[in-house]
Structure formats: C-alpha cells, structure tokens
Structure 1
C-alpha cells in the first residue's frame, strides 16, 4: 500500500516518490502507482485531487484493491523517481467545502436533531440531505449563525486514527462505516465525525458558510451550500444580478421585490388582454373560413393549410369553427420541422375525427390520437401540406357517402 501523505499533512503541495507500478487501462488511460502520494483519491463524497506528475497532468485518482491509481493524460517519461505538484487551489476549495459541511451538519443536528444522511461535493455547490421534512428560513439562519460562529472562533480541528477505547469515549455525530482504522475529524468542543477526507487545522480557514437553497427530497430536505471562496463568488454574482435588475427597473435593491411583483401583475393583466384579443381574432378567422367552406349535403367542411401554427393554435381554431357551426368539420394542416394535423367536428357531424386521423397519418408516417370530436397528430414533412390536406378531404368525403 502507498504511504498516504495527505493524512500526514493536508497542506502538502508537492512531493517526490518512487514509481512502484505503471501501466495502461483497458480504455487506453495510462496510470502509475507510487510508493507514497499526497493525491487524495475520490471517495467519501469528496472528489480526488488533481495536479501533475513530472509535468504530466493527473486526470483522476482512485483507490482500487488497495492501490492508489494516478490516471494520467499521457504516459510518464522513463524513470523510477517522480516529482509531483498538487493543484492547491482545487485542494483548498475541496477542504473548505468538506470541512464547512461537517460544521453546518453538526449545527443542524445540535439545533434541530436533523441528521445528515447524504452529502455531495459538486463543482459549484455542496449538497447535504437532512432528516427533516420541513425547513424554514428561520431554522436555516439559526444553523448558519452557529456554524459561522464556530468558524470565526477559529477552533482547532484534529483528524487522526483512533483506538477502539478512544472511539468508545467520543460523542460521535454518526457511527463509523468501518470497524478498523477509524479516522475521526473533530472540531474542538463541537463535532466528532468519522471521515477519511482532507480537512484544515482550524475552522477559520473554512471561510463563511452560506445556504443557497433547500427543497424536499425523498422525504428529507436537500440543502445547497457554499463555503469559503465559493461564498464570496456567489455573493458577488448575486450582487451583480441585483445591481443589473436595479438599473433595468430604475429601482433601489430594497424595492425590487415589490416592483417585480407589480410587473408580474401587470404582465398577468396583459396576458389576459392578449388572450382575449387572440380569441376575437380566432372568432373572426373562423367566420371567414366558414364563408369559404366546402358544402356537402348539410355539412360544411373547412379545409385549410396554415403555416407557422402550433397544435394548440390549430385546436383553438377548430373549436371556434365547430362552436359556430354544429354541422362543420375542420381539417387543419400546418408544416414546419414536421407536418401537424388537427381534425375537429361539430355536434351534428356523424364522422369520427380520431378514425379519420388514423387513416390519414400513414401518408406522413405519423402518430397521433384524440377522440371522436377532436384528434391531432404529426409526422414527416416529406409530403406537401396541400397533398396531405387533399388526402384527408378525400377520405372524409368517402366516409360521408357511406353515412
């Protein structure tokens, strides 16, 4: 087994080592195993470290069968001794997020008996899953306050392997998942947790903690949070958003919520007026279409090709046509990336529209459905819409002769 330097010194940025194994995986990725390493392998919710070995990029680190594989962007030059550099900016960020998660999780458990049952350290945010069904803004602010107080007090953090006797005497926040080589990360007089990740020596190095959002997740609550430099970046991003909104709305930041609410209400009213106008236009369009309808016995057939219309728009037009004339049939076809059809009938029409659509769709290799009154579908645009419409019209007229 390789000597795990990241457990001995979490601040180690560079090291030398001997290559004890090298090879290429089945997917063609070269790798090396070293006699000692400061690269933390992926595990326990924490991503792996990255960096370089002899100038070659380390793209992944994973412990497999007690061997720590350093996967590389290219094979290493010949030689048994290597010099390695960690991407310290990445390591520091991961340590801030992971240590901060410990502190915030302990705060939630102390205040609300909410246990952490899930943890994921992502590129932008960290998530923790808490055993609490409902979480309020007040609860979040209380937990944040406790966590940040612990950080500002700059309490010592210790990470070490403990004996069974020591473990039995510790007030652990959660039981260890292993029975041997148990490593405990403790925040002085606040939290004791089994963990194999990398952590700082003092809480002050974590930087500020901020919960960004939370939502229900599988009976629990999932929190999104940031720590340290991520917190500062998140606050900068949000401040820029507020600044831009204030400028666009000529509003102070404090008045933004009320002004946005006013704009949303105005939009709601405008949407209502717009829909009323559209309905009036559809009524007029339906009236004009009926004036040019094909008359067959006592029925009126409106057969139209309409470019740039959506299925919902065709459905509404069909509804307007058949509402105005109970003896009307609407055959409406539109084209775009694919040909789309809507067939509708009035209350006095005997032909079922879903059956007519089913017989029309094979022409365009289409799919659709509906009921006897209204049916819709779509398919390939390889056939001209005029030809599709003519085909449907002929099928309809044949059916009418049989009624």
Structure 2
C-alpha cells in the first residue's frame, strides 16, 4: 500500500525530491508522499509543497507525481495535504460505497461507475428504472447506516485471502489486495480514501437523476456538501416564500397558480398579437409594392417574424429590421438566393448571419450597417 493508504491521518510531512520534470507544468516526485493520486473516479488530493500549490497528483508507473504551479526550489520538501479537500473526497467516496452496497444487496442494482465532481458526485446504476418509492426506501436505509456508525477499515490481504471475502467490488490488480470494509455491510477492493465510520457521513442527499445510455445516473452530496446544500435551499425557499407573501409549505401551490396564470396570459398575448398581425398585414397588402422594407422599433422579434412570414406567403419579398433584437429578417419568393447573398456580402457590412434561398437573418451592430446592407440587397432584387 502507498503511504497515504497506510497512514491516512497524516497531513504534514518532511521529505526530499526524488525527480523533477517539466511537461505542461512543473512535476515533482518525492522520496515519500502522503498525497492521494487521482484514481478510480476519486480526484487527487490538494495541498502545498514548500508553500507552492499542488494542482494535481498522478500515479504513473508506480511513481506519485505532483503538479505545481511554479518550480520547486531546493532538495528538502515540507508537504502539507489539504485536510478539508481530503475529508470531502473521502466523504463522497465513502457515501458511494454505502449507496452501492445497499442498492446491490437489497435492490439487486449494481453500480457501473462512480465519479466525484467538484460540486456533486455521480453513480451510474445498471437499471433503467427509478422512482420516488425506491429512492425513499434507499434514503431510509442510508439514515439507518449513518446512525449505526459502522467502523470502516482498510486491510491488505494476500490475493487468495482477499478473494475468499464477500467482495462487492472485485480487485483490478493481483498480488497484495487492499480491501475496504464497512462493518458487515460492504467489502470492496479499493485504493481510495475513506472516513473512519459511517457516522462521519452525517448526511447524504440525492440531488437528481437522469438516464444515461440505458442506465440511471444518480447525483448526490454527502457530509459538509449536503449541509451547505440544505442551507442554500432553505435560504432560497425562505426568500421565495417572502417574495410570494406565502408560507413555506404554500410555495409550490402559489407557483403552480402563477404558472397557470402565465399560460393564460401567454395565450391572450398570442391571440392579441395574431389580431394585430392581421390588421398590419391588411394595410401592407393594400399597396402595390412587391418588395417591402419595414422598420420595427419596439416590436417583439416574434411579431416581426410573423409579419415577414405572412407577407411572403402573400407573394411579397420582405426585409424587416427589428431594432430591439438588432436583427434583419429577410423573406423572399426566390428572386434572389438570400442565403448566398448574405454569405457573400454580410462581413463588409459588419454583420453575421445566414440562411436559405428564401429565408435569412443577420445581426448588425448598428441600424446604419443594416440600412447599407438593405440598399445593396434591394439593388440586387431590382436587377
């Protein structure tokens, strides 16, 4: 076992440099190191060497390499492992062991993969079904395991001895096998860092789920991450309730009512907008112009789009400048290939956009640039 596995509580140490290399950063190998290198979905430790920040730790061909943000000077090294980061990663990893053990033993759902993220951790499960009832049962069992305070140990066994244990996670190495045991709940071949007891997990919260390649991916947080999330969500809930002039347990009902009101308002706005489009359309179609250039100063872009589409359906070519969106909408009956014209000329007028033969859009910084582009297009259309 590596030193950080044998002595998991060590946070400061003295050593000397064994090797150095410069390869997309400054890498240092030490005579001895208590830093955990990234492995098995668990991120590397963080900390300092002689006060220089350790950005990454990797195990390459049996050597632990430390990535620094500046060169390390001198041969003697004082190392400090960031206790908060180590404890956080250990908590998320321990939570994974516990969740995976319960799901496999009691729900016959195996874990496919695991990753500790900077904010949330993920578990990919070999199932395509997940529901609230199953999650509630899992959460209840997790509370029981945390309260029970199962002792967590890591022991190195000869291969034959390790394989005789009821391993949930089989070893990926041969020879000496490190087995992490959580009471009688879980035996796993694992090289990661862990807490000393399930009681240290304190709290595990599930934050979401989604289907990934036929599996279910659960996201979760444990220990301090879980309490920070609870604090944030409580604050947001309190602020939302105060904003809505409602009690906390009434927020969902009030939001549902607001959503229904929004749907009704959107429907009414849409109906009024359609009526306005028909009125404007009737006025525009009364004239003889086959090429219409419109300037919408305050209209919503949806209104401009509806006008343009309606006019082209009536056989007119339409150029609509929408001041709010700084966008030129173009609709043609095919007299000029709008997409090709735009591609050829748009850059010289400081715009960007594109489109098809009969429909194109361009964003401009100024109305003047748009007008110059329109003049060039009108000349092409009249040719």
Per the TM superposition, whether the score is higher than 0.5 is: yes
Query: Structure 1 residues 331 and 208 mapped into 2: Cα distance closer, same or farther (>3 Å)?
Result: closer
TM-score, scaled relative to structure 1: 0.85
The alignment covers a number of residue pairs equal to: 378
Query: Structure 1 residues 255 and 283 mapped into 2: Cα distance closer, same or farther (>3 Å)?
Result: same
In the TM superposition, 1:3-402 aligns within 5 A as 4-21=2-19, 23-29=20-26, 31-80=27-76, 82-291=77-286, 293-295=287-289, 300-307=290-297, 312-321=302-311, 326=314, 328-334=316-322, 340-344=328-332, 352=334, 355=337, 358-359=340-341, 362-365=344-347, 368-370=354-356, 374-378=358-362, 384-398=369-383
Q: Distance in 2 between matches of 1:76 and 1:328?
A: 72
Deviations 1:200-236 (A, max 9, x none): 2221112211111111111101111111111111111
Q: Distance in 1 between matches of 2:190 and 2:338?
A: 66
Deviations 1:70-92 (A, max 9, x none): 22233334243x33221111111
Q: Distance in 1 between matches of 2:56 and 2:71?
A: 14
Q: Distance in 2 between matches of 1:20 and 1:393?
A: 74
Deviations 1:48-77 (A, max 9, x none): 111122333222211122211122233334
Q: Distance in 1 between matches of 2:68 and 2:356?
A: 57
Give the Å deviation of 1:322: 5.2
**Contact 1:364–1:379 (CA under 8 A) maintained in structure 2:** no
Give the Å deviation of 1:268: 0.5
Q: Distance in 2 between matches of 1:67 and 1:327?
A: 74
Indicate the larger mover: 210-219 or 330-339: 330-339
Q: Distance in 2 between matches of 1:91 and 1:162?
A: 25
Give the Å deviation of 1:358: 4.0
Give the Å deviation of 1:378: 2.5
Deviations 1:108-136 (A, max 9, x none): 11222111111110111111100110101
Q: Distance in 1 between matches of 2:345 and 2:380?
A: 12
Q: Distance in 2 between matches of 1:8 and 1:126?
A: 25
> Which of 1 and 2 has greater Rg?
1
Q: Structure 1: which 5+ runs fail to align?
A: 346-351, 399-403
Q: What SS class does the counterpart of residue 37 from structure 1 fall into?
A: coil
Give the Å deviation of 1:144: 1.9
Q: What SS class does the counterpart of residue 67 from structure 2 fall into?
A: strand
Query: Structure 1 residues 252 and 354 mapped into 2: Cα distance closer, same or farther (>3 Å)?
Result: farther
**Contact 2:273–2:303 (CA under 8 A) maintained in structure 1:** no
Give the Å deviation of 1:95: 0.8
TM-score, scaled relative to structure 2: 0.89
Q: Distance in 2 between matches of 1:274 and 1:65?
A: 66
Q: Structure 2: which 5+ runs fail to align?
A: none
